[in-house]
Amino acid sequence: MTILNEKDIDKQILAAVKKKVGQALGDITSGKYPEEVKDRIVKRTRLGIGVDKDGNAYKFPALSDNYKEVRQGKARFFTINGKKIKIIKGDLVKKPRLHATTRPAKANNTATGQLLKSLTTVKLKIAGSVGWGIRIGDNRGRDLFGKSSKIGNKELAGYLAAAGRRFMGITKAQRNEISRDIRHMIIKFLKS
């Protein structure tokens, strides 16, 4: 829906608005706002809400019973010579170091907490404009059981997305919120 017919409005006021928008843009760029957007992605994910490629929010599918048992420290699952085995006692079965922001049965893309903690923001100079990127830091430390991780965070995010737990992106509602926040910043500038 068109919300502004530039032909019909006073050109001087429009020019003043555009100038102030430029000032507001500088404030957003130098401020902490992009970091806040990143934190909102982390919060949404920790609450178990994903985003599909069209920007629709959805609840993450539940964790498998096997993985819940692993996270509870009740069992470990291995494959040997093509055969899957479940180990329920012994040195291999121990309490995992689950991050404080999750629980054994909580599907929120969190085990050690390293993936969501690795997100950072970067300013992008786009031809004729400016933007902000959210990216994943690839390095991972120890896994749930203290061993070195075999995969990086980016690969892990890919696995999670394939399993229906896509989290990188901004939902339509989050986009509405960003738009509203920026509008408020611009209007504040206009009043100053």
Containing 39, the helix (H) or strand (E) segment is helix 33-46
179 belongs to the binding site for other proteins (CB under 8 A): yes
163 belongs to the binding site for other proteins (CB under 8 A): no
Q: For residue 185, what are the contacts with CB-CB under 8 A and spacing of at least 6?
A: 24, 27, 28, 33
Letters for 20-39 (x = contact with other proteins by CB under 8 A, - = none) are -x--xx--x-----x--x--
Shortest Å, Cβ 29 to other proteins? 10
Closest CB to other proteins among residues 73, 169: 169
Q: Which two tokens stand for residue 167?
A: 């989290």
Closest CB to other proteins among residues 28, 111: 28
CA distance 83 to 155: 25
Contacts 24+ apart (CB under 8 A), 129-136: 130/25, 130/29, 132/34, 132/37, 134/37, 134/38, 134/41, 134/168, 136/168
101 belongs to the binding site for other proteins (CB under 8 A): yes
* Footprint on this chain of other proteins (rule: CB under 8 A): 1-5, 8-10, 13-14, 17-18, 21, 24-25, 28, 34, 37, 40, 43-44, 46-49, 56-59, 101-103, 106, 122, 124, 126, 129-136, 154, 157, 168-183, 185-187, 190
